[in-house]
């Protein structure tokens, strides 16, 4: 019988490593800002960041659920790391007058440091937003509505091919659509994701898979640099979905390099794109970004613009079609406003429909960004929720803790569009409806997202009758990996044409 043996120096290395982490934990307890000692929370969390890492990595994105339990035990402010707290004060952290910067520990994990999303300095981020904002204004969105409408029409036709056949994978169909929309809107290019069998385009699969590796890259950032330097064939062997990322990066690189080599190609584009604005800034105060920055911005917009809207639509379809009262009321409103389905109804008409609007808002409430967005307090100490937070402290509050707060929303686990109707809903919305965050770092593509949501919800529910197939509420239980990650069955429906 073989006996495993270790050389003496191996035991020494192990004890040295353990001693290092023990000393680090003691240092965190003793020398971290004394003001945080009054913030309640687990002792282990005050010692080491590996407390949250355990839930993020070992428990597969389970920290959000654990954080709910911590708030129940300790109250509205919880210490979740040696220098980190999670307070119940959204506006103090993210409001218009906040001077807090993004926490590099998390945001550098996305490896898009030079994008509007990844820029840590709020002044640099503001300059980038000033360049891109004209393309994402309401006026620009209305001007480019036809770009979105073309993709929505294609989705309807693709989904109706399943009529009388096998159930349609709505989860993948909707995400294919939103990916094609954001690519067409931002680049005047399309991946034609919806044309791929079963909507499983390699680029879409790579984006979905990429969400699940954020925690790994946060705690082990060196893995990104290893993967960047590894041969392509090796990475494809280790992770087959990485082929999609290679295809995506090659597509964007070719498109960008073609424009950089001959900027006049922008003159013959179907419409304005992000490169019209980034390569020709409107004022001299704005410099032309580097090639790396242009690629970072492109990747950011594709990732953020596809999965978030797709998640909201999938959530809405599931809840509407499993509740006859909600679906009947929504169909009646759409039929009355849109009697002839052969004539298209646009965004500005659909946004006037109160119940459709309520359904969309409720879908957003139940399907937002899962992860608390960390910010670094500064430049001076601040008081949040009665606690002094020293400069340098990382603070955060997840949108889900606002949208699922029982003190704000009655029966927050239930899909109730009616909560958004009536006078009280206006006050509730202005204070507590924060899907796009707030302040100087709020979502750049908010107007585009609203347009997509109205067109997708309106056309899907007016033109298609669906029956949820083999999907239950338990399949919408998600793991927290920045965005929600669903490990169970994807939403499938049987479909037929509505007249």
| Binding-site annotation, residues | 443
* Distance in angstroms (rounded) separating the CA atoms of residues 75 and 484: 25
According to DSSP, residue 420 is labeled G
Encoding tokens for residue 158? 């693709």
| Lookup result for tokens 């402290």 | 393
* Distance in angstroms (rounded) separating the CA atoms of residues 136 and 235: 36
Hey, which residues does 394 pair with through a beta bridge?
A: 84, 376
Q: What are phi and psi of 168, to 5 degrees?
A: -95, 135
Opening angle at CA 72, ends 69 and 78, nearest 5: 85
CB 359 within 8 A of CB 330: yes
End-to-end, the C-alpha distance of the chain in Å comes to 75
* Distance in angstroms (rounded) separating the CA atoms of residues 242 and 206: 6
CA dihedral 397→440→144→277, nearest 10 degrees, is -130
Enumerate long-range contacts of 471-479, CB under 8 Å, 24 or more apart.
471/318, 476/315, 476/318, 478/370, 479/60, 479/61, 479/62
Strand-by-strand arrangement of the 101-102 sheet: 78-81, 84-86, 394-395, 375-376, 101-102
Which is it for strands 84-86 and 394-395: parallel, antiparallel or unpaired? Answer: parallel
CB 472 within 8 A of CB 48: no
According to DSSP, residue 468 is labeled E
Bind-site residues for heme: 443
* Distance in angstroms (rounded) separating the CA atoms of residues 251 and 254: 5
């Amino acid at each position: 019988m073989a006996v495993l043996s270790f050389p003496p120096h191996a035991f020494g290395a192990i004890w040295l490593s353990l001693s290092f982490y023990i000393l680090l934990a003691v240092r965190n307890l003793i020398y971290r800002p004394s003001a945080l000692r009054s913030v309640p929370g687990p002792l282990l969390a005050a010692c080491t960041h590996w407390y949250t890492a355990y839930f993020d990595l070992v428990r597969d994105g389970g920290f959000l659920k654990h954080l709910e339990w911590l708030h129940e035990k300790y109250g509205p402010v919880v210490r979740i790391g040696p220098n980190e707290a999670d307070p119940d004060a959204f506006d103090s952290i993210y409001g218009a007058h906040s001077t807090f910067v993004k926490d590099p520990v998390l945001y550098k994990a996305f490896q898009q440091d030079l994008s509007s999303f990844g820029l840590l300095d709020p002044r640099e981020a503001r300059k980038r937003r000033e360049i891109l904002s004209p393309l994402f204004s309401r006026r620009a969105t209305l001007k480019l509505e036809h770009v979105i409408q073309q993709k929505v029409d294609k989705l309807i036709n693709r989904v109706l091919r399943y009529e009388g056949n096998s159930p349609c994978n709505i989860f993948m169909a909707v995400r294919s659509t939103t990916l094609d929309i954001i690519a067409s809107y931002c680049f005047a290019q399309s991946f034609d994701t919806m044309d791929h069998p079963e909507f499983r385009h390699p680029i879409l699969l790579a984006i979905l898979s990429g969400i699940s590796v954020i925690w790994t890259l946060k705690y082990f950032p060196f893995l990104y640099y290893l993967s960047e330097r590894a041969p392509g064939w090796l990475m494809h062997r280790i992770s087959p979905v990485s082929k999609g990322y290679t295809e995506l990066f090659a597509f964007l690189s070719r498109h960008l390099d073609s424009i950089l080599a001959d900027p006049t190609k922008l003159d013959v584009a179907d419409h304005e794109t992000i490169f019209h604005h980034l390569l020709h800034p409107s004022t001299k105060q704005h410099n032309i970004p580097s090639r790396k920055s242009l690629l970072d911005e492109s990747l950011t917009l594709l990732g953020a613009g596809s999965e978030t809207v797709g998640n909201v639509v999938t959530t809405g379809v599931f809840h509407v079609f499993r509740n006859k009262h909600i679906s009947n009321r929504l169909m009646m409103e759409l039929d009355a406003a849109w009697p002839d389905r052969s004539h298209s109804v646009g965004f500005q008409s659909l946004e006037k429909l109160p119940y459709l609007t309520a359904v969309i808002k409720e879908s957003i409430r139940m399907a937002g960004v899962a992860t608390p967005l960390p910010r670094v307090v500064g430049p001076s100490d601040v008081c949040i929720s009665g606690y002094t937070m020293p400069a340098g402290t990382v603070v955060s509050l997840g949108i889900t803790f606002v949208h699922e707060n029982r003190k704000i929303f009655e029966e927050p686990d239930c899909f109730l569009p009616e909560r958004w109707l009536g006078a009280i809903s206006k006050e509730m919305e202005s204070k507590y409806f924060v899907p796009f965050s707030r302040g100087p770092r709020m979502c750049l593509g908010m107007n585009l997202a609203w347009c997509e949501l109205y067109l997708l919800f309106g056309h899907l529910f007016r033109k298609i009758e669906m029956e949820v197939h083999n999907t239950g509420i338990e399949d919408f239980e998600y793991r927290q990996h920045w965005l929600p990650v669903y490990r169970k069955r994807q939403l499938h429906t049987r479909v037929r044409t509505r007249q």
